[in-house]
Structure 1
Amino acid sequence: MARWRGCWRAAGGALVRVLLVWAVSTLTLLVLARILPDFRLQSADGDSVTRVGLTAAWGAGAFGLLTALVWPVVVRALLLVPALVLGLLVFFLNGSLLLMALSLIPDDRGAAAAPQTAVVVAAVMSAVASATSTALAVRDDEAYRRRLYRLAARRRRRRGPPPGGGPGLVFLQLDGVGYGVLRRAAADGLMPTVAGWLEHSHRVMPWRTDWSSQTGASQLGILHGSNHDVPAFRWYEKDTGEVMVCNRPTSAAELQRRAVARTRDGGLLSLDGASRGNLFSGGADQLALVLSVAARRGRANRSRAGYFAYFSDPANAVRTALSFVAEAGREVGQSLRSRLRAEHPRVARGGLYPLIRAFATVVERDVVVSAVIGDLLAGRSAVYADLVAYDEVAHHSGPHGRDTDRVLARLDRSLALIARVAEHAPREYRFVLLSDHGQSPGETFLSRYGLALEDLVRAGCGLPVSRRAGRTRSGAEARAAVLAALHRPVEEDGEEARSGSGSDPVVLASGNLGLISFPDLPGRATRRRIERAYPALLPTLAGHPGVGFLLVDGEVLGPGGASARLDVPGAAEELLAAFGPGAADAVRRTDSFPHVADVMVNSAYDPRAGTVHAFEEQIGSHGGLGGEQGRPFLMWPTDLSQPDPELVGAEAVHEVLRRWLREHDGPQVPLPALPAMTPLPEDSRPDDHRPQDRRLEADSSGTLPSAPGPVPDETR
């Protein structure tokens, strides 16, 4: 009997909430009809107040019903549309639904003179309805809890009981947040959730990245246990003539395939795992916004279905769209303020960047958080999610300052929301926070010295350089050094020196790490072959004040003619001492990669200021050695085993996370031990980029809204 009373009480409460939202929507429609000149809710001859009110109620009810029934179908039909375009279509779709709803009002009493008016009315109504629902849920905590439990029970019935009896593990990666940044944000009150965990339940420590301190190398090592032969974010492979880029879907798929073949294991998340917003799948069955499967076509690839699950709720869509517009406007304002204050250093932040920033800090965050919430309520054993907001903003605003502080505060609110929902999950969860790298500040190489790395390389090779570089002091000095080395007179008229024959070198940048490859020199070029082909190049690079050191075929070249062989004990350690402990070992490991560039260039580093010079247009950068970029963090609950005091490399972090999964008995089946690593043969590359492990052919799961409001009774 008590159970029936509880059901009737819950049903009555839900009905009251629906009626209240309907009433508020009706009032909103009346107000909009009053203030918008080309929007009306009455016939041309005029109507009574009662008749206008009934018309508004009819229109609000029809709009609510259409958004509940039609919106999910429309979003599913648009699932193949690029995610950014889908986010921008939200307003148009909502406006179209409102026009449909108004057309259902009898006697043509509802009409909008222009489509743009319908867009405005629909956006306001959706936002008001969402805010009202959220306010009602906040006031009724018991109703909120009952709905969460009901949804969790429904998910358990569909997929059975959670495998394993132990707590699940949620790995949340705060992309680009260094150890020092996290510590400062917690101490200054920017991240109260993180501060509370550190005070009561968690510990934190730094770990050391590989030389390639960027998401591609770190996340591949963390999720798949191997980042062998990933020398940078982008690099040229002579055997195929291709440029590999870690955030390119085909490259990510190939890197994941290589890692799986090398370790002979699907990855960290192979057993009942979920991968959200990552470059790689980690072997998870449940995927959303995973780049390594985005290049595949067909029904098997539903990595973007996370967008559908989120945007199928029109309230979510409108809320995220409004936040998207607000974030883009915030970026424009912050960029203008930085320019007016003549802040230094700074980079250009125009063009499409405000939209890209808004997508990374709003759309991707909301969808990923929503997917993680769905995983918690589904009781999955292991979840790994990447939140990229800080990294994107820090590249253009710098890793320290008001812009990034606001992003850290919003990330902390996302952590708090996930932790709150975990209280209603069908199993207990432990939260592990970590980052893949940090960020080092500094003026760009181009801004500081007036020429790009490519200009310097071309000058050192005797190739034409841009006129901008030729006019700068650094460019002129480099060109003069080339001409002197080639025994040619310095040309006073600005005529650039030209090389004889052969193709141009391939110059790529990964933060403050540069890569130079010579397609005409087969295999990895030795120092002697490079000096024979381009006699002035290596002295020009090593002697430039913006260059810290070079790696050329097992030899490190520094300023002032200094050099050290990596196979001579202690020599490289002394030459690279300024770049921190373990720098020589990191360079030595990269030197062993099959696809390391002919010349690897690390920018200069100022240990006192902690600054580097990015070869890309970034005032907060990562990718090489020097400063905070190589000191990410690992934060774990105290009831997990203590990691080694010195964690070096992403592969070592993988071993720690794998051990924690065993300890908490996430999956009942023991995780396989990681076999010894053996290099892949040169001809092992398949014709396509599909992963060879069937566990990587995964589908995506339903998700929940990311706002702390009522959770839908059913999600796809």
Structure 2
Amino acid sequence: MAEGNWRRAGHAAWRIAAVWAISTLTMLVLAGILPDFRLQSENGDSATRIGITAGIGAGVFGLLSALVWPFVVRALLLVPALVLGLLVFFLNGSLLLVALSLIPDGRGEANAETAVVVAAVMSAVASAASTALAVRDDDAYRRRLYRLSDRRRRRAATVAGPRTPGTVFLQLDGVGHDVLRDAVDKGLMPTVASWLGAPAEGAPAESGVPSHLLTPWRTDWSSQTGASQLGILHGSNHDIPAFRWYEKDSGEVMVCNRPASAAELQRRAVEFTGDGGLLTVDGASRGNLFSGGADQLALVLSVAARRGRANRSRAGYFAYFSDPANAVRTAMSFVAEVVREIGQSLRGRIRQVRPRVGRGGLYPFIRAFATVVERDVVVAAVIGDMLAGRSAVYADLVAYDEVAHHSGPRSRDAEQVLERLDRSLGLLAKVAEHAPRHYRIVLLSDHGQSPGETFRARFGLTLGDLVRAGCGLPVPRRARRTHSGAEARAAVRAALHRPVEEGVEQYRPAKDSEPIVLASGNLGLISFPDVPGRMTREQIDRRHPALLSTLANHPGVGFVLVRSERHGPLVLGARGAEIRLDELGEGADDPRLLGPLADFGPGAADAVRRTDGFPHVADIMVNSWYDPEEGEVLAFEEQIGSHGGLGGEQSRPFLLFPLALTPPAADGELLTGAEQVHRVLRRWLWETDGPQVPVAENSRPADQTEETFPVVGRAVEDKTR
């Protein structure tokens, strides 16, 4: 044992010396090519003296990066995450200036701008060199990852890891089943392809052995992350009619990606089900809207509004950015992504690509946050969870969803995001090989996206304008833009210390008698705030005789749901089409009986019927037109890839699971609804880690704080590149 310890110490000392030598050489090269970077006295020095000076500078800079940087970042924990990302370069440059000032006789000198460049290059080179040296020794590489893992559990994980497998649930936000299948067929996602048994490049076709199975599942009517993820993580999405909706009893607009609303929805789900969620037993929740009952939380929106010494909405950034190489790499990738988006948007405008939505303003930065910062931080968190040996991890990667909203779900822009996400999946799969327990990786999505131009672009007016016209109210001459429901915006605004959306005043009309119109993808909700309870068809007809017929007969509308005093829930369509939901039996799919619902496929009637029973369903629910041949819908928001209602691929997400787990449903059956998915995932946890004992959220300690996960992004990401 003692001999092994000495050998490991010797190897570690050799790697430190090698990285120091490489950093010294890098500093010498930079001093030779940068005119404002000097490593010698004004009278000149010998080559040996310059080399010694560079060695001192590189050594001091390395020590400062290892010892001082984490404290600097912790001191800046309450600084908005995006601002911290921009400060990374300047903080790193400041450390270099300090290191140069400590060189004897004033031989080190650089101006501020040059120091930023030199520090960034040296951090990147040191990171790459350290990782490359560790890769040559698997034991050293594994020990390095363990050192970066959860310190409180490191000893238990190193000595004897759990015998039962752990489970990692990775959610690719917005990736539909058919989109994933096509990406695999095109060779864009080799990691997923290998799980499905596709042979490696150059290998014979029969060499691939599948380890996973891919199956679709069907969402509820509200095909968006708020409803799906709440159902998946907490077992209930009861009374979630859309991404945003108006509640008459409180007079508030609930928005799924607003921290206060997410916290309330999670509280309701826990109260409704009686348990804390999917992750109550040794679980971790990363980058999600909801916690799932996990003790270990990072970038979870439902706790983003909480305040404290370890602010829960941003504490997850600390561990990642506490490594200067991580911070520099992510910041540089952020800038590159902003430039890439500007270039792609400009190319689309020059080529007159249709359909197209505006991609200016802050959108390039929002996209870069979702595709770079959020991805890097969440992936690093999951790596830490696996190295700590946690039983269950659920993480959401929102990159594809954000890009597909603005570029289209099958655009080249979105495909490039899938390629980068696949590399992250490959990274996690490699890290699993070094974890203290075996892990089963389950890949899933919460919904898909359906393409199509916006309602406003097609008809020159918004849904709100159409409603006002049907009510006989004045309509603005120019259609106004609608709000976007993209999930990534919530994470960005939380990181900037800004509310996700303003309050209800932005939705409230000038008079209480006028309707509130809200959009959730291609699903519209119309409520009359001055009428308590759900307004009936008869009441609507008496107040606004033309409204329902205006909506139902509009070519951009597929169907309208309203409740009648005499006939119960009714689905209205063009040319007077009308169907009573009560007359449709469970699972009724005969097109001849479905009327306006016929084009929306199997399960549409059940989905509409379930939503009709929610306490906070809107007075009028409007689903846009859908073209079953092209799979296109018309979004009521400014999105050319949308989700939120019925129609097309938005309702057809996927579940990719290891063969070792039992099938999610019997042959020929399709999982329907997020609550069914929750039951399947809970069953899989029972199969891998024993019975899961639900724990009510209100029984957890009130002073529970968010864990800051280990910094492992640099070590493992560079290894796989």
The answer to whether the superposition gives a TM-score over 0.5 is yes
Match of residue 643 from structure 2: 622
Match of 2:245 among 235, 241, 249: 235
Q: Given that residues 685 and 692 in structure 2 are in contact (C-alpha distance below 8 angstroms), is that contact kept between their aligned partners in structure 1?
A: no
Aligned equivalents of 1:450, 1:341: Cα separation in 2: 22
1:651 matched to 2:675: yes
Deviates more, 1:256-265 or 1:533-542: 533-542
Distance change (3 Å), C-alpha of 1:290 and 1:587: same
SS of structure 1 residue aligned to 2:583: coil
Aligned equivalents of 2:299, 2:510: Cα separation in 1: 48
SS of structure 2 residue aligned to 1:516: strand
Match of 2:686 among 653, 662, 667: 662
Structure 1: which amino acid aligns with 2:711?
L
Deviates more, 1:355-364 or 1:536-545: 536-545
Distance change (3 Å), C-alpha of 1:359 and 1:162: farther
Match of residue 490 from structure 1: none
- When normalised by structure 1's length, the TM-score is 0.88
- The count of residues paired between Structure 1 and Structure 2 equals 663
SS of structure 1 residue aligned to 2:387: helix
Match of 1:560 among 572, 575, 585: 575
Match of residue 23 from structure 2: 25
1:598 matched to 2:607: no
Distance change (3 Å), C-alpha of 1:464 and 1:163: farther
Aligned equivalents of 1:181, 1:650: Cα separation in 2: 20
SS of structure 2 residue aligned to 1:567: helix
Match of residue 316 from structure 1: 326
Deviation at 1:469, TM superposition (A): 4.4
Q: Given that residues 284 and 695 in structure 1 are in contact (C-alpha distance below 8 angstroms), is that contact kept between their aligned partners in structure 2?
A: no
Match of residue 123 from structure 1: 120
Deviation at 1:142, TM superposition (A): 4.3
Gaps of 5+ in 1: 471-498, 675-690
1:62 matched to 2:84: no
Match of residue 130 from structure 2: 133
Distance change (3 Å), C-alpha of 1:669 and 1:5: same
SS of structure 1 residue aligned to 2:142: helix
Share of identical aligned residues, percent?
74
Q: Given that residues 293 and 301 in structure 1 are in contact (C-alpha distance below 8 angstroms), is that contact kept between their aligned partners in structure 2?
A: no
Aligned equivalents of 1:349, 1:300: Cα separation in 2: 35
Match of 1:429 among 427, 439, 448: 439
Q: Given that residues 148 and 711 in structure 2 are in contact (C-alpha distance below 8 angstroms), is that contact kept between their aligned partners in structure 1?
A: no
1:481-500 map, 5 Å:
none
1:587 matched to 2:608: yes
Aligned equivalents of 2:167, 2:308: Cα separation in 1: 31
Aligned equivalents of 2:273, 2:311: Cα separation in 1: 24
Q: Given that residues 71 and 313 in structure 1 are in contact (C-alpha distance below 8 angstroms), is that contact kept between their aligned partners in structure 2?
A: yes
Q: Given that residues 461 and 534 in structure 1 are in contact (C-alpha distance below 8 angstroms), is that contact kept between their aligned partners in structure 2?
A: yes
Match of residue 454 from structure 2: 444
Deviates more, 1:618-627 or 1:640-649: 640-649
Match of 1:705 among 693, 712, 716: 712
- When normalised by structure 2's length, the TM-score is 0.88
Aligned equivalents of 1:625, 1:358: Cα separation in 2: 29
Structure 2: which amino acid aligns with 1:287?
L
Deviates more, 1:701-710 or 1:258-267: 701-710
Deviation at 1:536, TM superposition (A): 2.1
Aligned equivalents of 2:41, 2:90: Cα separation in 1: 26
Distance change (3 Å), C-alpha of 1:709 and 1:225: closer
Aligned equivalents of 2:352, 2:548: Cα separation in 1: 36
Q: Given that residues 285 and 695 in structure 1 are in contact (C-alpha distance below 8 angstroms), is that contact kept between their aligned partners in structure 2?
A: no
Aligned equivalents of 1:294, 1:655: Cα separation in 2: 27
CA RMSD in angstroms, aligned pairs only: 2.4
Deviation at 1:162, TM superposition (A): 7.9
Match of residue 486 from structure 1: none
Aligned equivalents of 1:517, 1:431: Cα separation in 2: 43
Deviates more, 1:166-175 or 1:126-135: 126-135
Structure 2: which amino acid aligns with 1:556?
V
Distance change (3 Å), C-alpha of 1:165 and 1:572: farther
Deviates more, 1:323-332 or 1:692-701: 692-701
Aligned equivalents of 2:122, 2:63: Cα separation in 1: 13
Aligned equivalents of 1:156, 1:162: Cα separation in 2: 11
CA deviations 1:51-83 (Å, max 9, x no partner) are: 322222222211111111111001111112222
Aligned equivalents of 2:309, 2:603: Cα separation in 1: 46
Deviation at 1:416, TM superposition (A): 1.1
Q: Given that residues 446 and 653 in structure 2 are in contact (C-alpha distance below 8 angstroms), is that contact kept between their aligned partners in structure 1?
A: yes
Deviation at 1:538, TM superposition (A): 1.6
Distance change (3 Å), C-alpha of 1:630 and 1:108: same
Gaps of 5+ in 2: 198-209, 481-508, 564-568, 586-591
1:34-73 map, 5 Å:
34-73=32-71
Structure 2: which amino acid aligns with 1:700?
E
Match of residue 542 from structure 2: 532
Match of 2:529 among 519, 523, 539: 519
Match of residue 224 from structure 1: 234
CA deviations 1:227-279 (Å, max 9, x no partner) are: 00111111111111111111111100000000000001000000111111111
Distance change (3 Å), C-alpha of 1:502 and 1:367: closer
CA deviations 1:543-577 (Å, max 9, x no partner) are: 11111111112211111121122222369733301
Match of residue 271 from structure 1: 281
Aligned equivalents of 1:163, 1:61: Cα separation in 2: 37
Structure 2: which amino acid aligns with 1:70?
V
Deviation at 1:464, TM superposition (A): 2.4
Q: Given that residues 257 and 692 in structure 1 are in contact (C-alpha distance below 8 angstroms), is that contact kept between their aligned partners in structure 2?
A: no
Match of residue 404 from structure 2: 394
SS of structure 2 residue aligned to 1:88: helix
